[in-house]
Chains A and B, each alone.
Chain A
Amino acid sequence: MQARKVPLSTGELTYFVAGEGRPLLYLHPAGGVRWTRVLEGLAKSFALHVPVMPGFDGTSAHGAVKSMQGLAKLMGEFIDKVIGDTSDVMGCSFGGCVALWLAAERPDRVDHLVLECPAVFRSKGPRPADAEALKKLLFLHPEKLPPESKPAEQEVANRRMPPHYRAPDDPDSELLAKTASIDKLTLILHGTADRMIPKESVQLLKSRLPRSYLVYVWDAAHAIEVDQPERMLSLVEGFLQRSEGFMVNWGTLAVNPG
């Protein structure tokens, strides 16, 4: 994974690239960029672009970008300038919300959309204050966390950023109003043990996005990429490569096929 920088209209943006193939823009969650086994796997078939949204992972916020819509416009500009073509877009949690905004704002630049536990509306109650409690909320299998995970302090600092961008209402009513007009083929993923994003959130999205599929990943909490990387990778790859055909079982159940 190579780190690069690109000047955009509101400031400089750091991003990572890995792999070759069809472009895939990955929008990270509120914890910042985490190089998971899913991203590692996707980089084997796609040209993966992972921008660090301003203010996350020690980067500076852009003074002119103050909303989710603004972030989405910035990501649109990133696609224009760096990818230069339409791109599949995958967003995780907070990044899923940005991805939806991007599909609404710049439909000309978005092909397939993958929303991993998108944070369109969140469960009630305060977030846990300490890192250990947050870990329990995010992961069902924290032992699967990649060893090079960032320091807890950085994650905590990252998690102070979403309120900078998010509208105070929950769910994001402006975004919800736009979802019916998003005609991108969309895969929505939700962990069966997710306690951060209620299932009603993904059910609502599924009912509003006209060309969407909702898939529950068993034995996964909020961070599906960490809890069930193999299953998630095969699901996302199948969807991006085969579109609606991902519903077909392309394998064989025979013991000695052929």
Chain B
Amino acid sequence: MKFSFFHLMPYTHLELESHDWPFPNRYFDPWKASALYKTYVESMIHAESCGFDWVGCNEHHFSPYGMMANCNLIGGALAYPTKRVKIAMIGNLVPLNNPIRIAEEYAMLDCMSGGRLVAGLMRGIPHEYLAYNIPPGESWERQREAVQLILKAWTEPEPFGWEGKHFQYRQVSIWPKPMQKPHPPLVISASNADSAKFAAEMGATMGMVLLADLPSGRDCIRIYKETARVNGWEPTAENVLVGMHTCIAETDEEARRWMAHGLKYFDQVLMGGLQASQRIVLQKTRYFENDESRDRWKSRLDKRRTLTLDEAIERGTVLCGSPETVVEQIKRIHGELGHGVFNFTVKVGTLPDEVIRRGMELFRDRVHPHVRGL
């Protein structure tokens, strides 16, 4: 089993009150943000010495939920101080951006890190489409086209043009090209049937986060594997990434207390504006290809919202407890899902950074030795 240390890089200096969309940036203090970036990047670098195999981050816009408009900048900051860990950009929001720019920046990161890039090609959650004024109803078309274009930009032996529906380039010849051949490993989010199929068609690792429960995760994995076989390849355990909020402390009671503290800010402040904007996007557009997918997504969010921490732990959708408890939780979830990459979201809301640091050491000393062989 591989372990990924994932950071959302939230802004944590806000009052406990919810806001509408867009979140007014008059509350943003660049000095406080500067200190947060430093702390966050240092903890990601430290993850390498704590036994993690990947360090990861992602892209979000217009919200304190995550301060990474371009996570590749953080990837650049991680490339030289680390030596072994994979730099997991999971990832760039493909339909919102210039795909050629993504291909270029990922190729840079792959070269800078000596071939350690994991390239996430994400569709993004609904509210991001408001931020960049991209029609949510085009999200799937743009995603499918852009992913193919990025692969071409990485692998074509000669300059080429692309005449697409959403993207047109008359001649492309990127410098640099990626170090990994034929291209860096891909991760594509696969938290519903449509995206699980797409990830498999692209030969990508599937990524599932914010699971409502383990059976729904199992369903996505089944669909992913079936589609992969139809497309002529057999996924390994490492082609399945599962991500969860994670808090490891000396005791179960301490871990639960800190997780509850962090989740309060996460749910009330960080998720506030996002939920409002997502409601607008989902009601008014064809972000999902069909009503069933939309309803499933909404139900997943509703389920998560109404779950208590105890219920979430019980359902196996959060990792929280003493090292010994977390070992058991990891074994149980692995037993149910059979995944090969576990992605820990460690900075849950205002969960203090010193608690996270201590949790990383507990992971290194008392968790990792018992689960790395899974």
Chain A residues close to B by CB (< 8 Å): 192, 203, 206-207, 213-219, 228, 231-232, 235, 246-249
Contact = CB atoms under 8 A, between A and B. Distances in A.
A246 B149 CA distance: 20
30 contacts: A203-B157, A206-B158, A206-B159, A207-B158, A213-B170, A214-B158, A214-B160, A214-B161, A215-B160, A215-B161, A215-B162, A216-B160, A216-B161, A216-B162, A217-B163, A217-B164, A218-B145, A218-B148, A218-B162, A218-B164, A218-B165, A218-B167, A219-B145, A219-B165, A228-B163, A231-B163, A231-B165, A246-B170, A247-B171, A248-B170
Contacts of A228: 163
Contacts of B170: 213, 215, 246-249
Contact of B158 (A203, A218, A248, A249): A203
A192 B158 contact: no
B152 interface: yes
B182 to A, nearest CB: 13
Contacts of A219: 145, 164-165
Contacts of B165: 218-219, 231
Nearest to A224: B163
B156 interface: yes
A216 B163 contact: yes
Given A231-B163, A246-B170, A247-B171, A216 B158 contact: no
Contacts of B161: 213-216, 247
Given A203-B158, A207-B157, A213 B164 contact: no
Interface string B149-179: 1001000111111111101001100000000
Nearest to B166: A218
Nearest to B158: A206
Contacts of B148: 192, 218
**Most B CB within 10 A of own CB, among A203, A207, A216:** A216
B367 to A, nearest CB: 45
A215 B171 CA distance: 8
A232 B149 CA distance: 18
A228 B145 CA distance: 14
Nearest to A206: B158
Contacts of A249: 170
Nearest to B167: A218
Given A207-B157, A216-B161, A235-B163, 14 more contacts: A206-B158, A206-B159, A213-B171, A215-B160, A215-B161, A215-B162, A216-B160, A216-B163, A218-B149, A218-B163, A218-B165, A219-B145, A231-B165, A249-B170
Given A246-B170, A247-B171, A214 B159 contact: yes
B214 to A, nearest CB: 37
Contact of B163 (A203, A207, A215, A248): A215
Interface in B121-159: 145, 148-149, 152, 156-159
Contacts of A232: 163
A78 to B, nearest CB: 30
Contacts of A215: 160-163, 170
A219 B145 CA distance: 8
Interface in B77-123: none
A14 B236 CA distance: 59
Nearest to A216: B162
Contacts of B156: 203
Contacts of B160: 206, 214-216
A117 to B, nearest CB: 13
Contacts of A207: 157-158
Nearest to A199: B156
Contacts of A214: 158-161
A206 B157 CA distance: 10
**Most A CB within 10 A of own CB, among B148, B158, B159, B163:** B163
A207 B145 CA distance: 25
B94 to A, nearest CB: 14
A246 B157 CA distance: 22
A235 B158 CA distance: 19
Contacts of B152: 216
Nearest to B141: A219
A247 B156 CA distance: 18
Contacts of A246: 170
B25 to A, nearest CB: 25
A216 B145 CA distance: 12
A253 B149 CA distance: 21
A214 B159 CA distance: 7
Contacts of B158: 203, 206-207, 214
Nearest to A228: B163
**Most A CB within 10 A of own CB, among B145, B167, B171:** B171
B9 to A, nearest CB: 32
Contacts of A203: 156-158
Contacts of B149: 218
Contacts of B167: 218
Nearest to B157: A203
Closest 5 A-B residue pairs measured CB to CB?
A215-B161, A218-B164, A247-B170, A206-B158, A217-B163
B293 to A, nearest CB: 22
A249 B168 CA distance: 10
Contacts of B157: 203, 207
Nearest to B161: A215
A235 B157 CA distance: 22
